[in-house]
Structure 1
Amino acid sequence: MYPNQYSFRRARTLLSVSTFLIGLALSPVSAQDRPPVLKALEAKGVTVVGTFPSAGGLTAWAGYRGQQPIALYATPDGKHLIAGTLLDDRGNDVNQEALKKAVTTPMADAVWGQVEKSHWIADGSSKAPRIVYVLTDPNCPYCNKLWSDARPWINAGKVQLRHIMVGILTPTSAGKAAALLTSKNPAAALADYEQANTAANAKVMAAGRPKPLEDHGIKPMGKIPAAAQAKLDANEQLMQSLQLRATPALIWRDDKGEVQTRTGAPDGALAAAFGPL
C-alpha cells in the first residue's frame, strides 16, 4: 500500500459476525416458498440470489451485501430468518463453499456493473482484450507512477486503463479532476497532464520525497459545476463502497471472472491486474 493515503471514516458494521435473528409478524409460508421476510432484508440493501443446498435439513438462502456473502436460514413458519454460520460438531462451517459458489458470479457481476457505470477517462485502445479500472486523484504522485508503469501494456494494446477520477488528496484535487472530466477531450487532456508530470515526479519519487503533482496545463476549477461535482461524489461513494481508502486503487476481473481490487501497485505487481506482456 502506498504511504499517501486518503482515509475514510470507518464504515459502520452492516451485519454482525455473530448469528442474529430477524423477526417479523408475517403470515406463515411453506419452506419451499420465498419467505416474505426476505423482502425486509432486500429493502435494507441485501441482495438475495436464491436457495442453495444446505446441511442440517434447513432451507438456505444465499445473499450478499456489498462484497460480503450472507447465508440465511428460514424458520418453518416463514416469520423469521437466521443469518450467520452453520457449524458442525467439530466447529466447521458446513455451508461456506456452497454459499460462495451461489453468490460469486452474481456478486461479481453486480460490483462490475457499478464500476462500469462510474465516471472514468479511457487510457488505451477500446479494443484491448483486458479492461482495468483505477481510482485516480490528479494530484497523486503514485497515480502518475502507475500511469507511467502501465505504458508497456497500454502501448501494446493489451489493456485499456479506465481512470475513475476522484478529488480527495489535496484542496485542488477536486478542481483538477473536474477540469479533466469536463474537458473537450478528456483522454487527451489526461494523457498530456500525466506525461508532463512524469519526469519530475520520477525524480522526487526516486529521492523518497513524493509531493502533489504540478498543474502543467490543468487549471483547477474554482467553482465546480453541479454535474461534474455529482460525478466526483458518485466516484467517491463507489470508492467507499469497495472499501478502497487510497489512490491509486486497481479494480479488475481475473481469469475466473471474480472482481479483484488492490490499493497501490508496487514495482512488479502490475502483471496480476494487467496480465502478461
Structure 2
Amino acid sequence: MAANTVYVFFDPTCPHCAALWNNAQALQNRLKIVWMPIGLLRSSSGPQGATILSAKDPIAAMGENETSVLAHGGGITVSQSLSDDVVAKVKANTDIFKALGAESVPLIVYRNGKNGQFGKHDGTVSAEELAQMVGL
C-alpha cells in the first residue's frame, strides 16, 4: 500500500458510503482512494457494484449512484449485460470484507503515511478526519 492510498469497502445502497464518497472528493488530488464495491445490504447491492465497475466511466457511474442514494433514490440502474468476471470481482471484494471481520460499511482500510501504522475504520468520516487518519 502506498503511503497515500486508502481502500474503501462500500455497499452501493448505503447512504453512509455515499456520504463518505462526497466527503472524500475534497481529497481527490492528495489521496488515492480505491473504492471496492461489495454485496451486503440488499439483493441489488452486488449487481449495482458490478454495474459501477463495468461502466465505461466508473467514476461517473459511482457519482451517479452516490447522488441517487443520498437523494433517497434506488441508486444506479443495474446493467442487463454484466460479465461473470465483474460479478466475481464484487463477490471477491465481499469475501475480503468478511475475512477482515467487518460487519458494517463503509470500511476504510488505510496506512498512515507519517507513522506507517495500518488501521481500519467502520463508518463515514469527514475529509479532515480521513486526512488525519492517513497522515496528510
TM class, shorter-chain normalised?
0.7 to 0.9
Select 2:110's aligned residue among 216, 231, 252.
252
Q: C-alpha root-mean-square deviation of aligned residues, in Å?
A: 2.4
What is the TM-score when the length of structure 1 is the normalising length?
Answer: 0.43
Select 1:234's aligned residue among 86, 89, 92.
92
**Contact conserved, 1:250 with 1:262, CA < 8 A, in 2?**
yes
Task: Give the Å deviation of 1:219.
Answer: 1.4
1:270 aligned residue: 130
**Contact conserved, 1:167 with 1:173, CA < 8 A, in 2?**
yes
Higher strand share: 1
1:159 aligned residue: 31
2:101 aligned residue: 243
Amino acid at match of 1:153: L
2:93 paired with 1:219: no
The 1:151/1:247 distance shift into structure 2, 3 A limit, reads: same
Structure 1 gap segments, 5+ residues each = 1-111, 117-128, 202-212
Higher helix share: 2
Q: Within 2, Cα distance between the matches of 1:170 and 1:150?
A: 24
Q: Within 2, Cα distance between the matches of 1:168 and 1:223?
A: 21
Task: Give the Å deviation of 1:179.
Answer: 0.7
**Contact conserved, 2:38 with 2:49, CA < 8 A, in 1?**
yes
The 1:190/1:266 distance shift into structure 2, 3 A limit, reads: closer
Task: Give the Å deviation of 1:273.
Answer: 2.6
What is the TM-score when the length of structure 2 is the normalising length?
Answer: 0.82
Structure 2 gap segments, 5+ residues each = none
The 1:256/1:274 distance shift into structure 2, 3 A limit, reads: closer
The 1:250/1:150 distance shift into structure 2, 3 A limit, reads: same
State, as a whole percentage, how many aligned pairs show the same letter: 26
Q: Within 1, Cα distance between the matches of 2:97 and 2:104?
A: 9
Q: Within 2, Cα distance between the matches of 1:228 and 1:163?
A: 14
Q: Within 2, Cα distance between the matches of 1:266 and 1:184?
A: 29
Q: Within 2, Cα distance between the matches of 1:171 and 1:191?
A: 21
Superposed, which structure 2 residues align to 1:128-207 within 5 Å? Answer: 130-154=4-28, 157-198=29-70, 200=71
Amino acid at match of 2:118: V
Greater relative contact order (Cα < 8 A, sep 6+): 2
Superposed, which structure 2 residues align to 1:39-50 within 5 Å? Answer: none
The 1:249/1:166 distance shift into structure 2, 3 A limit, reads: same
